[in-house]
A and B are shown apart, each in its own frame.
Chain A
Amino acid sequence: MKVPISWLKDFVDITLPIEELAERLTLAGLEVGGIHKIGLPGADLEWERDKLVLAHLLKVEQHPEADRLVLATVDIGAAEPETVVTGAPNLFEYVGQGDISHLGLKSPFVMEGATVYDGHAKEPGVKMVLKGRKIRGIMNRHMLCSEKELGLSDEHEGIILTATEDAPPGTPLLDLWGDAVLDIDLTPNLIRTGNILGVAREVAALTGQTLRYPDTTLPSTEGVPVNDQLVIETTEPELNPRFVAILVNGITIKPSPYWMQRRLRLAGQRPINNIVDISNYVMLEMGQPNHTFDWDVLRRRADDYAGPNEPVKIITRLAEPGEKVTTLDDKTHTMPDFSILVTDPKGNLSIGGIMGGGESEISDASQNVLLEAAAWNFINIRRTSQALNIYSEAAYRFSRGTHPSLAMFGALRGAKLLADIAGGVIAPGILDYYPHPAETVTVDLPQAEVTRLIGIELSVDEIKQILESLEFEVEISQSPISNLQSPVLHVTVPDHRLDISAEPVTGRADLVEEIARIYGYDRVPVTEMADELPPQRNNLPFEREERTRDLLIQTGLQEVITYRLTTPEAEVRILGQDYVAQATYVTLANPSTPERSVMRHSVLNSVLEIVAENSKRHAHVELFEVGHVYLPNPNGVGEAAILPDEKRRLVIAMTGPRSEMSWLPTDAELMDFFDLKGIVESLLDGLHLDQVAFKPAQHHAFYPGRVAELEINGQSVGLMGQLHPYVVEAYDIQIEEDQPVLAADFDLDALLAQVPDLYAVRSVPRFPPVQQDIALVVDETVPADQVYHLIMQTGRPLLTEASLFDVFRGEQIGAGKKSLAFSLTFQSEETTLTDKVVAKQQQKIVKRLAHEIGAQLRG
């Protein structure tokens, strides 16, 4: 909202420099996003006090050499008048009228050497220094200027010409029109300050000044009372609690006075004519949106539907099914059935609280107008405004809550201006339909509540003073029971406010907020919490997740965090058509982009998209993500029936050469299944999970024969392996031919649930180990880990370790066979082992393996 300081000064004295005022307002919640200065020191264009002054227009003559130029003679308060050459189109009508000084026309006068904006520049903000020059043979040193040249607006149709400026000629423009406009961002709760008076009230409270109200005293009335000419009926008093109307006859449509135009422009409104401008002016000034109907149009319609002697009848009602309204911007809207319309028996006239209709709007021929100011249910206005996609100034205010009491205030203010400015004569009486006046809200606030919630010690008088500065009425009573209890403030809420609750506890909090805000958050002391410390609670799922991240980055993986929104089509690539066709997704009703329409079922899909993107530039990519999937929860009850099961997954994806390129020899081999497995083993080791098994598995997304199912303590936690070439192709991952892309996709909740709380550490052996190598020839089909487990089972407890160090296939050992070479470590905790004992143990192992799986000791 744009707030010109000059307008604000109508209602409150400004006692602080503008920057300080802006800071105070910002801290009190009216965030000043910018200060736009006009003419004042610090403005982009500073008006020189002695070179930019007000001129009084004395006469206008034709330039002897040019049809499109005139010579304007003006009084600038100096001994002699000045004459300037100008092409301003709005001066031509005065040519040949001789002395026109009696018209009282004033215009801004700029002297040679002054800096102004270039009115002809295409770009805004181009400055120029005024230099004297001959124009068609006549020397010209000075100029009369437009709003654009002064930086008041971008208006450059003609010079500023006003008959309503009382200041004497020679008055510095700086004193007259120098201004600053505050740009205030308002949170929705602060709509009561969404007008000049509302801001002035805050300024008064914050700076200890007195608020002045705009003048609403009506001049004398004439004619037939409005209540004899108009009846009002509403079918929905809940949605339209108040309807105020004043009839103003005999208005003259013309441009509004310059001071009003200037203020409207500074506030961001384009002046139209006096009637429309007054309506906007009242809304901007005191916050009540209002509407002027052409009374003669309403009357003619009444002649049709009721007869010439019957009163005009206005009905506010819900829209009929499919009812259409053509608004004053010539757009036709189909109304939702919950929207409320202002109508007469012949049809609709306007959309209540949002926008007027085309037929009954003011035209240049209008003479008599009906000024309406009403109150509307804010939630209904908001729904209607959203449904119609109309965000008018009226809808903005009504949808945030405008108190019904303001309707009368606004109507009176509007009528006053219609009489003063548009020459209207007010018909006697005011139509005021207000069946259930809003109840006055009162709140009992114990003094101690301020201390309890804010931590400041204010006396009852200080609290009273703060509340009264915002126009709350306050009475203080000592608690009758005991002096130990805190005094209570009986607070009556002023009738422009809708934000103070009548519910006692909430109402107290609402008041405490106002007290803290005006007192100043910056003055509230800084303290440490003194209350009881809460009990600490075990939080292993979180701690283990963080541990998982740490373990994975230790293996060199990069963590990624991806979008949790995707599309079913994207997930087909990894989950397959069969799965996705049957899957139930959490689906957005209003996605902002088609690529992000459902909550994902696969983290691997998200991560592979990132692998593909990075593969365009990086040969070596090794990533992991810990993130959620959102799965249907068919057996859920209560809220779980409608909310998805949010499960944590751990995904690893990697491809490329094992090490980065270097000038030193590095391992440039491509990573394969066993690189991934090494990382998984390292993770499991770090989590102290030892009952793990990697079982051959099958899955359509993985390379047949190169995928394993990870089991922990016999429970499956997911798959890992080399991705199927079709999957790699579907993601368009940029790789060398035959380059494996490896991935693991684990249920992290299941995995972490197996992590032991405790694990025992063996004592460091005191006796030396004995190392023996052993190579066993087995059938190709025998998995290595079966051989390993048999060795360990048989050799324990003296055998403490068996590590596979070679796998060999060749003619020497025959087709369909492989040789597995293990390095065995024997160690006793009680004694130094002899060769004999070790040899015996080894024989036992060989014998067992020969018996169980037909293993032969390799010669």
Chain B
Amino acid sequence: MLDQLENLGAAARTELNQLTNGSTLDAWNSKYIGRKGEITQMLRRVSELPKEERPAFGKRANELRQELEAEFAEKEAVIKAAELEQAMAAGALDVSLPGRPVARGRLHPSTQTLRRIYAIWAEMGFQVYRSRDVETDEMNFQLLNFPPHHPAREMQDTFYTTNPDVLLRTHTSPGQVRVMRQYHPEPIRVILPGMCYRHEQITARSEIQFHQVEGLAVGKGIRFSDLKGTLINFTNRLYGQGRPVRFRASHFPFTEPSAEMDVQCFLCDGKGCRICKYTGWLEILGCGMVHPTVLRNGGYDPSIYSGFAFGMGPERITMLRHGIEDIRYFWGNDLRFLEQF
């Protein structure tokens, strides 16, 4: 019977070696080493042997079964690996085909720029303060040191309404007076974003509405040098570390001294190009020390308090950064434009 066992083992091995796929593997397993397999059956026939032969036979039969099981496992692994490889080869994809479309929502480009501005100023301690679009002449002009009929009003083409005291704000600056009146005599650091309006023809270069972000800091001992430092911190964040800037004297009725801040053209690195009109500089914001009259109108004593203010245009910043040449794209909301952001 031992011979019979060895022969069976040999046959099983021969057959195992010839196997090539998963299904024949299963059949082999049941035929030889499964619960009803021939090796198992033979093990059960141990009782047919004389008592003294039983231990040797049993031992050998168990050994053989373990050997075959090990060989089976090895063979199984080889065949499974081959089969997996084959299956994967058949399932290769054209990875150049486009992916399944995902509906990605987007913020309007102005909002994206506004948020970048908010974030930078927030880290410097400037909170957002919003005020109204439709304003009184007093808030938009008079309290900001533009008397009626003053020539400085010509700098801003105004939309007036059928009520002569009411207009569409031409800048976010009336918010300066509102925030000062609300918070005085505490120190202030705010930015004032909002939509502004100017009486213009709608062309590629001019719009009747546009965003502005104004900033205001009021306190004791705020100096023009602080204005420079604070705005340079901002431009380092928005336009790149160390990009050269310059401050030019300018005029706004509500600041004194007033300045325009230019940043070296980031499109040509100051060499001169069409966008910077070959000057090497881009005008990015107007700024200055808050005029004593405006401080006074806001409730602060200008001989004790001082402050600075600045204003910038998110649409202009967006246009410069992305090479947009037509400001009408912003309110046109053509998806072919919006989907590029």
A residues sitting closer than 8 Å to B (CB atoms) are 26-29, 31, 187-190, 378-379, 382-383, 399-401, 451-456, 505-506, 509-510, 512-513, 516-517, 521-522, 524-537, 539, 542, 546, 549, 552-565, 586-593, 596, 599, 610, 613-614, 617-618, 621-623, 628, 630, 639, 642-644, 646, 659-664, 666
Known: A505-B303, A586-B166. A454 touches B292 (CB 8 A): no
30 contacts between A and B (CB under 8 A): A27-B246, A27-B247, A29-B250, A400-B151, A451-B223, A453-B306, A454-B224, A455-B223, A509-B291, A513-B258, A517-B257, A524-B247, A527-B226, A528-B226, A531-B187, A534-B186, A534-B189, A542-B130, A549-B111, A556-B105, A561-B333, A564-B133, A589-B159, A589-B162, A592-B200, A599-B168, A613-B334, A614-B335, A643-B132, A643-B135
Q: For residue A506, which residues in chain B have a CB less than 8 angstroms away from its CB?
A: 291-293, 302
Report the Cα distance A105→B33, complex, angstroms: 129
List B residues 33-78 near A (Cβ within 8 Å): none
In the bound complex, what is the Cα–Cα distance between A404 and B136 (angstroms)? 34
- Chain B residues whose CB sits within 8 angstroms of the CB of A517 once the complex forms: 249, 257
CA distance A537 to B122 in the complex (A): 12
Instruction: Pick the interface stretch among B9-17, B21-29, B228-236.
Output: B228-236
Give the residues in chain B near A565, CB-CB below 8 Å. 197, 208-209
Do the beta carbons of B221 and A630 come within 8 Å of each other?
no
Query: Do A188 and B151 touch across chains, with their CB atoms under 8 A apart?
Result: yes
Q: B222 is contacted by which of A531, A539, A563, A643 (Cβ under 8 Å)?
A: A531
Contacts A521-B259, A558-B106, A561-B111; A455 near B149 (Cβ below 8 A): no
With A509-B292, A516-B257, A561-B110 as given contacts, are A596 and B186 in contact (CB-CB < 8 Å)?
no
> Which of B147, B150, B160 has its CB near the most chain A CB atoms (within 10 A)?
B150
Interface size grouping (class) on chain B: 35 or more
For residue A560, which residue of chain B has the nearest CB?
Answer: B333
Q: How far is the CA of A27 from the CA of B257 in the complex (A)?
A: 13
Report the bound CA distance from A31 to B250 in whole Å. 9
Interface pair A456/B225, CB less than 8 Å apart:
yes
B103, B168, B230: the one contacting A659 at CB < 8 Å is: B103
Of B79-87, B93-101, B266-274, B319-327, the segment with at least 4 beta carbons within 8 Å of chain A is: B93-101
Instruction: Known pairs A28-B249, A661-B101; list 12 more (Cβ under 8 Å).
Output: A27-B249, A29-B249, A31-B250, A379-B148, A506-B292, A506-B293, A553-B106, A562-B333, A564-B209, A593-B201, A613-B333, A642-B163
Task: Tell yes or no: B154 within 8 A of A by CB.
Answer: yes
- Give which listed residue, A189, A527, A534, A562, contacts B225 with CB less than 8 A: A527
Closest to B295 in A: A505
Partner of B155, one of A188, A379, A546: A188
Residue in A378, A383, A559 whose Cβ sees the most chain B Cβ within 10 Å: A559
Contact across chains for A642 and B189 when beta carbons are under 8 A apart: no
Query: Is the CB–CB distance between A453 and B136 below 8 Å?
Result: no
User: With A and B bound together, what is the CA distance between A402 and B224 in angstroms?
Assistant: 30
Are the CB atoms of A662 and B306 closer together than 8 Å? no
Closest to B283 in A: A31
Of A190, A532, A662, the contact of B101 (CB 8 Å cutoff): A662
How far does the Cβ of B173 sit from chain A's closest Cβ, in whole Å? 16
A664: contacting residue among B100, B249, B250, B336, CB under 8 A: B100
Whether the pair B251, A453 counts as a contact (CB closer than 8 A) is no
| B335 interface neighbour in A589, A618, A643, Cβ under 8 Å | A618
A590-B163 Cα distance, complex, nearest whole Å: 12
Which residues of the other chain, B, contact A27 by a CB distance below 8 angstroms?
Answer: 246-249
Enumerate chain B residues within 8 angstroms of A610, measured Cβ to Cβ: 333
Residues of A within 8 A of B183 (CB): 534
Q: Are B134 and A646 in contact (CB under 8 A)?
A: yes
| CB contact between A454 and one of B98, B136, B225, B232 (< 8 Å): that residue | B225
Once bound together, how far apart are the Cα atoms of A593 and B217, in whole Å? 37
Hey, which chain A residues are within 8 Å of B135, CB to CB?
643
Which of B207-247 touch A at CB < 8 Å? Answer: 208-209, 217, 219-226, 228-230, 232-233, 246-247
Q: Are B186 and A642 in contact (CB-based, < 8 A)? A: no
Q: Is the CB of A559 within 8 A of B108?
A: yes
- Taking CB atoms, residues of chain B closer than 8 Å to A382 are 149, 151
A527 touches B223 (CB 8 A): yes
- Chain A residues lying within 8 Å of B302, measured Cβ to Cβ, are 505-506, 509
Q: Which of B130, B155, B232, B296 has the most CB of A within 10 A?
A: B130
Contacts of B224 in A (CB 8 A): 453-455, 516, 521, 524
The answer for the CA separation of A561 and B217 in the assembled complex, in Å, is 29
Distance (whole angstroms) from the CB of A745 to the closest CB of chain B: 17
Q: For residue A662, which residues in chain B have a CB less than 8 angstroms away from its CB?
A: 98, 100-101
A659–B105 Cα distance when bound, in Å, is 13
Q: In the assembly, what is the distance between CA of A615 and CA of B303, in Å?
A: 60
Do residues A527 and B166 form an inter-chain contact, with CB atoms below 8 A?
A: no
Complex Cα distance, B98 from A788, in Å, reads 42
CA distance A555 to B232 in the complex (A): 38
Name the residue on A nearest B290 (C-beta): A509
Nearest-CB distance from A120 to chain B (Å)?
A: 31
Q: Is B195 an interface residue (CB 8 A)?
A: yes
Quote the shortest CB–CB distance from A103 to chain B (angstroms).
Answer: 46
Are B230's CB and A509's CB within 8 A? Answer: no
Q: A534-B186, A534-B187, A630-B133 are in contact. Are A560 and B338 (CB under 8 A)?
A: yes
* A664 CB contacts on chain B under 8 angstroms: 100
Sorted nearest first, the 10 A-B pairs with minimum C-beta distance are A455-B225, A553-B105, A29-B249, A556-B103, A455-B223, A187-B251, A531-B219, A513-B257, A521-B247, A660-B101
Across the interface, which residues of A come within 8 angstroms of B154, CB to CB? 188
> CB within 8 A of B331: which of A399, A558, A562, A589?
A562
Asked if B165 lies at the interface with its beta carbon under 8 angstroms from chain A, I say yes
Kindly state whether residue B275 has any CB partner on chain A within 8 Å.
Answer: no
B127 at the interface (CB under 8 A from A): yes
Knowing A27-B249, A621-B335 touch, does A536 contact B151 (C-beta < 8 A)?
no
Q: For residue A563, which residues in chain B have a CB less than 8 angstroms away from its CB?
A: 208-209, 331
Contact A639 B208 (CB under 8 A): no
Give the interface centre of B105, B200, B229 by most chain A CB atoms within 10 Å.
B105
- What residue in chain B is nearest A30 (Cβ atoms)? B249
Q: In the complex the two chains form, is A29's CB within 8 Å of B104's CB?
A: no
Complex CA distance for A542 and B194, rounded to whole angstroms: 12
